């Protein structure tokens, strides 16, 4: 039986009456069941729009309010004017893939084959979705450590997988390996990790990576390691990439982001590194969802990467901003959580004057935006369970000094103002 327009069974007399009284019927739009029925607009878009509406300093969404290096912009301009404006190879410009492989080998000691094991992507989010689509089959389980970046859950759902949330320690945001071990099952396909961590700024240690390697030894579980903040690790620590351990590198997709590293988030260029058998599956999907990535930006990035100073100096650059921001927040009622990495600072607001401390985190962020003029992101946005309502919010300090100074000036007034 063929599909029928809902009005097709109406009698001719009913149709006639409708046409006479109301005019022609509106064109019919079929609306299929949603693939993501539980989702609406992301909290980042909501808070950014609210910040714009109220003229607030936007410390919510994680993007810089300053430009990238003019030398990088010039390199892209030369690439455009030099004729690099048509499709590049599907996995990425060879020179860029070679530069990525050389950087990973220098920093982490693992050599990827640039031809078979590196793919340039349209940002890290596309890389994560593509990796999941490549290896997750309907019903497969994907372990996610929460709080987690908000794209993970819908990406897993789109792949037909089942997300298995495992909470990080609520006070330190460190992984709990007993809980991870308990979450593993014969249906576990992927375990997702993120270091440095968004939203908490936590950084995995070498010992934790060793524990992860031991936990997965003898299993078929793959690792999807989100390392987009790899160059933002502070206080003399180093980034512990899964690439450092051969047993983890052999089962991992490693994702990073040029947008985060070079202050050009709007370019949406990232990359994935993985062993050849995994990358072959990744590219099967990649070639049909984006095929390839902006050509002149790839050529420009390859040229710019010849000098490692910009990414090697990134930790010092952002640590100065982190220290400035933390010093200013010390004069507010917020309790600072540790920030060993990333460009996010989380704070506990339970010490704010009543009734602010009693608000849920979304309400508090909305109040801050409307009444104080500073936008933040609620921590609950990073949990799958709506019951999870910690008294924690997240600020982004990837901003000009004058932006941070203005935000701090406004935040210092909180203890003197009643909630409205």
Evaluate if residue 416 carries a pLDDT over 70.
Answer: no
Residue range(s) in the chain whose domain bears CATH number 3.90.1150.10:
43-62+313-414
Measured in whole angstroms, the distance separating CA 294 from the mean position of its chain's CA atoms is 20
- The per-residue pLDDT for 388 is 58
Whole-prediction pTM value? 0.91
- The per-residue pLDDT for 56 is 96
Residue range(s) in the chain whose domain bears CATH number 3.40.640.10:
70-307
Evaluate if residue 16 carries a pLDDT over 70.
Answer: no
> Roughly what angle, to the nearest 10 degrees, separates helices 295-304 and 70-81?
130
Residue 136: count other Cβ atoms within 10 Å of its Cβ. 22
pLDDT per residue over 264-286, tens digit each?
999 999 999 999 999 999 999 99
Please check whether residue 398 is in contact with residue 62, taking contact to mean a CB–CB distance below 8 angstroms.
yes
- The per-residue pLDDT for 419 is 56
- DSSP element (H, E) containing 74: helix 70-81
Average pLDDT, integer, range 77-91: 98
Average pLDDT, integer, range 126-146: 98
In CATH terms, 70-307 corresponds, of 3.30.530.20, 2.40.50.180, 3.40.640.10, 3.40.50.720, to 3.40.640.10
- The per-residue pLDDT for 237 is 96
Question: Taking Cα atoms as reference points, which of 317, 325, 322, 333 lies closest to residue 407?
Answer: 325
DSSP string for residues in 126-194: HHHHHHHHHHPPTT-EEEEEES--TTHHHHHHHTT-EEEEEEPPTTT----HHHHHHH--TTEEEEEEE
E strands in 21-140: 57-58, 118-121
3-class DSSP state for residue 273?
strand
Q: What is d(CA 261, CA 270) in angstroms, rounded to the nearest whole number? A: 10
- The per-residue pLDDT for 21 is 56
My answer on whether omega of the bond before 408 falls inside 30° of 0, hence cis, is: no
Q: What is d(CA 190, CA 130) in angstroms, rounded to the nearest whole number? A: 13
Average pLDDT, integer, range 134-142: 98
Average pLDDT, integer, range 328-357: 95
Strand 162-167 and strand 141-146: the pairing is: parallel
In CATH terms, 43-62+313-414 corresponds, of 3.40.190.10, 1.10.390.10, 3.40.462.40, 3.90.1150.10, to 3.90.1150.10
Evaluate if residue 380 carries a pLDDT over 70.
Answer: yes
- The per-residue pLDDT for 11 is 36
Question: Taking Cα atoms as reference points, which of 150, 221, 216, 211 lies closest to residue 177?
Answer: 211
3-class DSSP state for residue 262?
coil
Top pLDDT among 61 and 299 is at: 299
């Amino acid at each position: 039986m063929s599909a029928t327009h809902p009005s097709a069974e109406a009698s001719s007399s009913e149709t006639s009456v409708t046409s006479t009284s109301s005019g022609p019927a509106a064109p019919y739009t079929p609306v299929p069941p949603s693939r993501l029925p539980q989702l609406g607009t992301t909290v980042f878009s909501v808070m950014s729009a609210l910040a714009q509406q109220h003229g607030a300093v936007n410390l919510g969404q994680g993007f810089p309010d300053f430009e990238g290096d003019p030398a990088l912009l010039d390199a892209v301009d030369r690439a455009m004017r030099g004729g690099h404006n048509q499709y590049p190879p599907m996995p990425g410009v060879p020179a860029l893939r070679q530069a990525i492989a050389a950087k990973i080998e220098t920093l982490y000691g693992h050599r990827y084959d640039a031809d078979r094991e590196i793919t340039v992507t349209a940002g890290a989010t596309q890389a994560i979705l593509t990796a999941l689509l490549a290896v997750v089959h309907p019903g497969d389980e994907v372990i996610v450590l929460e709080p987690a970046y908000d794209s993970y859950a819908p990406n897993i759902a789109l792949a037909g997988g089942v997300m298995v949330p495992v909470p990080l320690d609520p006070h330190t945001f460190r992984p709990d390996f007993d809980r991870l071990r308990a979450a593993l099952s014969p249906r576990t396909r992927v375990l997702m990790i993120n270091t440095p961590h968004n939203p908490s700024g936590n950084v995995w240690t070498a010992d934790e990576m060793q524990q992860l390697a031991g936990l997965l030894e003898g299993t078929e579980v793959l690792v999807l390691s989100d390392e987009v903040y790899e160059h933002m690790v502070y206080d003399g620590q180093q980034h512990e990439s899964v690439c450092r351990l051969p047993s983890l590198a052999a089962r991992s997709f490693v994702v990073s982001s040029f947008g985060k590293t070079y202050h050009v988030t709007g370019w949406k260029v990232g990359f994935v590194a993985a062993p050849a058998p995994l990358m072959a599956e990744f590219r099967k999907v990649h070639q049909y969802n984006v095929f390839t990535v902006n050509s002149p930006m790839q050529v420009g990035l390859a040229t710019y990467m010849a000098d490692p100073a910009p990414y090697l100096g990134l930790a010092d650059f952002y640590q100065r901003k982190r220290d400035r921001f933390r010093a200013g927040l010390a004069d507010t009622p917020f309790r600072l959580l540790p920030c060993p990495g990333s460009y996010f600072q989380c704070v506990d607001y339970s010490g704010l004057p009543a009734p602010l401390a009693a608000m849920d985190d979304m309400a508090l962020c909305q109040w801050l935006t409307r009444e104080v003029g500073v936008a933040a992101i609620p921590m609950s946005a990073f949990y799958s369970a709506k019951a999870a309502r910690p008294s924690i919010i997240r600020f982004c300090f990837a901003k000009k000094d004058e932006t941070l100074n203005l935000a701090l000036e406004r935040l210092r007034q909180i203890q003197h103002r009643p909630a409205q």
